């Protein structure tokens, strides 16, 4: 019997689910040989509540999403958070810096009265989560690594060191040298520092490493004459500011 796998989405852009379909043809065929996909709204209409592994994408931002997520937890043996929205709340949490009625009005204007919203939160604020596939969007190689580990009944090995390590290995010049702040010193690696390698800086989409060295990040800011406020603004984008203050 192949394990039954289900994909679910909550508040999000569904880009992470879409990314799982960006596996190469060969990878996708191998995956479909190994598992039965019984729920996946983006690719099939059939539904089945009998599944072993649930990949859950999106943050929780409405009351009605809470019982739906709890039901998924009840049905699944293993729950995996898929992407930054599910893992750390993600960009949906930007609205948490506003009163909820103001956030609703900004999006829906005079129709705001027809909608409800609550502060956005990661799925592990509502249910227990077994594993995390991080990033905005996820890295498909890491997704496959997690699936393979689950099929072998092993714990997936996800980096627990900062993006700076991969950034240095990629031979990038540190953006702090250009007066730009970067969250790389405290954010979990696994993306090969793709943003810095592409001419940007780390926004923190993979969330914090365990036990992040926040003091060291402050020291770097001081060394380059930058302010804590500048880095806090960047922490807000993916809700890593909430992780820092937990």
Binding site for ligand SF4 (CB under 6 A): 12-16, 57, 83-85, 90-91, 135-137, 163-164, 167-168, 172, 174-176, 182, 184-185, 187, 191, 193-196, 201-206
For residues 151 and 244, which CB has a smaller minimum distance to ligand SF4 in the complex?
Answer: 244
Nearer to ligand SF4, 3 or 145 (CB): 145
Min separation Cβ 166 and ligand SF4, Å: 8
What is the C-alpha separation between 126 and 165, in angstroms, rounded? 33
- Smaller CB distance to ligand SF4: residue 50 or 230? 230
What's the closest the beta carbon of residue 237 comes to ligand SF4, in angstroms? 9
To the nearest whole angstrom, how small is the minimum distance from the Cβ of residue 59 to ligand SF4?
Answer: 8
Minimum distance between the CB of residue 151 and ligand SF4, rounded to whole angstroms? 23
Instruction: Specify the residue, 91 or 127, whose C-beta has the smaller distance to ligand SF4.
Output: 91
Query: The tokens of 180 are what?
Result: 């730009």
Q: Under a CB-based contact definition with an 8 Å cutoff, are residues 116 and 171 in contact?
A: no
The least distance separating ligand SF4 from the CB of residue 88, rounded to whole angstroms, comes to: 9
3-state secondary structure of 11: strand
Whether 144 contacts 23, CB under 8 Å: yes
CB of 73 to ligand SF4, least distance (A): 19
Is residue 21 exposed (0-12), middle (13-18) or buried (19+ Cβ within 10 Å)? exposed
Answer yes or no: are the C-beta atoms of 9 and 59 closer than 8 Å. Answer: no
Contact 10, 57 (CB under 8 A): yes
Q: Identify whether the C-beta of residue 83 lies closer than 8 Å to the C-beta of residue 16.
A: yes
- 189, HSE (Cβ side, Cα atoms, 13 Å): 16
* Shorter beta-carbon distance to ligand SF4: residue 35 or 85: 85
Closest residue to bound ligand SF4 by CB: 184
Q: Which two tokens mark 230?
A: 């500048």
Q: 119 vs 135, which CB is nearer to ligand SF4?
A: 135
């Amino acid at each position: 019997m192949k394990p039954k796998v289900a994909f679910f989405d909550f508040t999000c852009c569904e880009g992470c689910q879409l990314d799982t379909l960006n596996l190469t043809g060969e990878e996708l065929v191998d995956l479909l040989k190994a598992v039965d996909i019984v729920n996946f709204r983006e690719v099939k209409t059939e539904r089945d509540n009998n599944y072993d592994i649930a990949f859950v994408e999106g943050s929780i931002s409405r009351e009605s999403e809470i019982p739906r997520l709890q039901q998924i937890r009840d049905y699944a043996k293993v729950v995996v958070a898929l992407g930054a929205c599910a893992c750390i709340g993600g960009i949906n949490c930007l609205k948490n810096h506003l009163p909820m009625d103001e956030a609703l009005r900004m999006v829906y204007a005079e129709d705001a009265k027809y909608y409800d919203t609550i502060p956005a939160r990661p799925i592990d604020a509502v249910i227990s989560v077994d594993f995390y596939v991080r990033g905005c969007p996820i890295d498909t190689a890491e997704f496959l690594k997690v699936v393979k580990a689950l099929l072998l009944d092993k714990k997936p090995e996800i980096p627990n060191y900062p993006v700076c390590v991969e950034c240095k290995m990629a031979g990038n010049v540190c953006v702090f040298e250009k007066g730009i702040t970067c969250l790389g010193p405290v954010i979990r690696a696994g993306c090969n520092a793709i943003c810095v390698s592409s001419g940007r800086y780390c926004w923190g989409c993979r969330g914090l490493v365990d036990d992040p060295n926040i003091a060291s990040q402050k020291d770097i800011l001081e060394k380059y004459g930058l302010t804590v406020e500048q880095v806090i603004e960047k922490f807000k984008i993916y809700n890593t500011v909430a992780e820092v203050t937990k």
